[in-house]
Every structure is written in C-alpha cells, then in structure tokens.
Amino acid sequence: MTETARITMQDKDLFGPEHLALRKTVRKFAESLAPHAEEWDEAGIFPREVFKQAGDLGLLGIRADPTLGGSGLDWWHTVCWVEELVHTCNAGLNMALLVQSDMATPIIEELGSDEVKREFLAPAIAGDKIAALGVSEPGGGSDVAAMRTTARRDGDDYVINGSKLWITHGTRADFITLAVRTGADGFGGISLVVFPTDVKGYSVGKRLKKIGNKSSDTAELFFEDCRIPVRYRLGSENGGFFHIMTNFQGERLVAALGCVAGMQRAVREAINYGKDRTAFGKPLVKFQVWKHKLVEHLTAIEAARRLAYFATDKFNQNPKNPAGVTREITMAKLFAGDLAQRVIYDCMQMYGGFGYTTEYPISRAWTDVRLITIGGGTSEIMKEILTKVEGL
C-alpha cells in the first residue's frame, strides 16, 4: 500500500502480490531519481542512462511480448508502473519514460514486422534506444487529419519532407514512430513509419523552452528528402489515422492515471506541511477552511481514480479494441486533468510564500500539471470526442 495508491478492500481483486512487488520495484527506482529532480529540470534534460536503468528493471515493456524483452503483463501492472512513478517528483522525467513505454512503442508491436520489432522495439524495451512519437505539427497539434509532412514512394523507399513540433525526446531520439501523409488530403491519406534519426536530411531545431515538465527535452524536427525503406512502414499504406487515434487511448489513460497519482501525492504532502506550519497559534490543517478543502479534494481524487480504474478494467478486458473504451478513457482524462488544476492550485496556496519558491516540489507540480489539459488532446478536444460518442 502506498500514498498514491491507497488500496481498499475493493481493490484487492485488482492488485495481488505480483502487483505489490512491481510497485515496490518502481517506487525504489523512482525514489532513487527524486534527489535529482530540480537539477534535471534546470538542465532541461536527464541522463540517457535512466532509460537503461528502467529497461534493466523490465519497466519499459510491461505489456510487451516476452520474446522482445517485455513482461507480457496486463494493464493493471501498467497502473502500478504509472502510479508509483510519481515518486520521482519530476513530471518531465515521468512523461519521458511513459512516452518510451506506452506511447511511441506499443503501436510498433501491434503493426510492425518481426524485423522492425527486433530492430527498434526490442532495444527500446531494453532502454538501449530512445523512442519518440512524431504526430503533432506546427499549426496542427490536435488536427491530425490536417497533417502536411509527406512520404513519397520512390521504388522501395519513402522520401519524407516536412516538420514536426512538440516532440518529446526530440533532441536525442534514436528513432521516431512517425505519422506521414502518403495519400490524399484528410484522414484517409496518413501512414505510420518507423524513422531512424541517423538518416541524411533529418535535423533537430532548437530545444523548446517550456514552463513545466522541463526535464523532458522537446523540439521541432525537420525532414528534407529523407529516405527510409518502405519495410519500415507500420500497417497498411494510408491506413494510419485509425491506428493513431486508437493509440491515443493508451496515452490518455496513462495520462489520467498519472494525474490522479500526482494529485494524491500533492494533497498528502500539503497535509503534512499543514500539520507542521502554524498560524495564529495552531497548525494550518486545524483551520476549517483547509480541512474542508482538503477532504473535498480527496473525495474528488477518489472519484477520478475510480473513473480511471473503470476505464482500465474495460480496456484490460479487450485491449485489442481501444476504440471500444473511448468514452470512458476520454472522460477519465478530461475529469482528472481539469480537477488537477484546482487541486494543485489549492495545495500550492497552502504553502503561502514558500509555494511560490522552488524550495518545495509543489511549485514544480503547479507548472507541470498545466500540460495535462493540453497534451495528448486538449480538454476541449476531449469534450468534442464525448459529444460525438453521446450523439450530441
């Protein structure tokens, strides 16, 4: 049992000894990295060796095929990975590791040839290669169907031209799971390829300066007559849009779970701070305004967790059909993301002037959490998806 995953009697059917053992492994790994949180945020990047450490512990391929170095486990084990990772106290680092484990690589296992899996997926699971996901473009972050980066067929090669923006691991990825336009305009002309970054014509723009999640390097990427073999394509030509959309479901579920864990940790730390900090002769947590606010947030966080767990359970029952759980996952991300803005704000307020300094992790949490309503689909996009699902 941990602060971030308060396992109740109801949860004992979900988490057994194997899950608890995984939690301990992740917690120990995360806490070993926590002392470097501020240092790596200031540097704007963390050491490459962290990927290898995670790979050696089997954390980068929890659901992946064991023949590729994965563990072949299910989504409930991924829940343990995501929830305990929060103890790094570094959201940028967490996001980077989750891009590697749950955003850029699962689609390679789903659609890639055996050769592609051996060449790219297996080393990514081991932490020997860093993977990026290349979908967003300048002027078209959420509008995937408006993609303009092209891949023209030339014999046994694709010739790629265009650019991508907001790419995590952009400055140092060894390969990119890349969305490109191979056909006509609209969603019907998009394909997915694996793009090795040592290809001639590929370049990285400047590292983008962000207000939060600073330790994850983010960059704009440029492609000028880059040639890759057609055999690096994932799935059918012009059939990539559906796979991008379904891949988003796993990304959004992970985001919701991580957000809930982050809120839980922030509130528990605020409570501990409020017990030690006194005002007008008594601890802050003894004031009714704070007691009520904190328990309101704990109640809402528990509701967010249950919504995320409900989505996880439904997804876990049929992981081959992510579209079948679009409603639940979208609701989970929307609810957790919007709730987190209020929870972290109030936690920061409790620290008073200290909350506005970098002395306490709450200040980083405040800037980091803003991304959850933007990345992986904005809250506005989540609402649009739900209006379609509900037939409105």
Positions annotated as catalytic residues are 251
Whole-angstrom distance, CA of residue 233 vs CA of residue 116? 9
**Which of these, 343, 325, 324, lies nearest to 335 by C-alpha position?**
343
How many angstroms from the chain centroid is the CA of residue 225? 31
DSSP per position, 287-315 = SHHHHHHHHHHHHHHHHHHHHHHHHHHHH
| The one-letter amino acid at 81 | W
User: Which residues does 356 contact at the CB level (< 8 Å), separation at least 6?
Assistant: 348, 363
Query: Could you give the C-alpha distances from 343 to 226, 285, 335, in angstroms and in order?
Result: 46, 16, 12
Give the chain's length: 392
Whole-angstrom distance, CA of residue 268 vs CA of residue 168? 30
Question: And the tokens for 200?
Answer: 């001639």
User: Which residues does 40 contact at the CB level (< 8 Å), separation at least 6?
Assistant: 46, 90, 92, 93, 215
